Amino acid sequence: DSAGISATNANYSNFFGAEAGAGVTNGALSNFFGYQSGNSATNASESNFFGAGSGTLATNAVESNFFGSSAGLSATNAGESNFFGYRAGMEATDAAYSNFFGSEAGMDATNASGSNFFGKDAGLFSTNASNSIFIGTEAGTNDLVDNTGDADNFSILIGPNTSTNGNSNSIAIGGYATN
C-alpha cells in the first residue's frame, strides 16, 4: 500500500504499513513501521519510527527513535532524540538530544534541546526549557522558563504539576511545587 513510494536516498531501509516512508528524503538505514510512519520525513537517516503517524513530516531527525502513535509527528531539529508515547514530541521544535517519555510528553515543546521529560504531559507546551529534567505528570506543562541564554542554565522539576515559575537554574521537588 505505497510504503516507501517516492522515497529518496532511503537505501537499506525498511518501511511497513500503508504510506510508511512514502516521500521520505534522506532516510537511509531507517525503520518506519505503522500507517504513515515517516511519511514525507526529511533527513531522518538511521532512525526508527514505530506507530501510526510517528515521524510523519519530521525534519532533521537523524538517529532518532519515535515510538507511539504520532510520536515525533512534525518534529523539527530533533536529531538523536527519543520520543516514546502517544504524541510524545509531536510538533516539538529544536529538541535535539532529548528524551520525552509519556503520553504527550514534550508535545509542542520549543527550544527543549538536551532535555528529559518523563511522565504524562511532562514538558507539554514548554518554551525555552533546554537542559531541563521534568519528571512527573504535568511537570513543566506550559512552563515559560528561559534556559537558552546560557549553556549552563538548567531546570529540574520532580513531582506532579511542578513549575519553574519562569526561573532558570532552579529545582522544585514535590507535588505542585513551584520555584
Distance CA 128, CA 111 (A): 5
Please tell me the distance from the alpha carbon of residue 68 to that of residue 83, in angstroms, as a whole number: 8
Beta carbons within 8 Å of 140's beta carbon, 6+ residues apart: 117, 122, 123, 124, 126, 129, 132, 134, 155, 157, 162, 163, 164
Say what the pLDDT of residue 1 is: 73
Identity of residue 150: D
Whether the full predicted model's pTM is greater than 0.85, yes or no, is yes
Positions in the chain whose pLDDT score sits under 70: none
* pLDDT digits 0-9 by tens, 96-145: 999 999 999 999 999 999 999 999 999 999 999 999 999 999 999 999 99
Give 142's Cβ-side CA count (13 Å radius): 2
Total Cβ atoms within 10 A of residue 152: 9
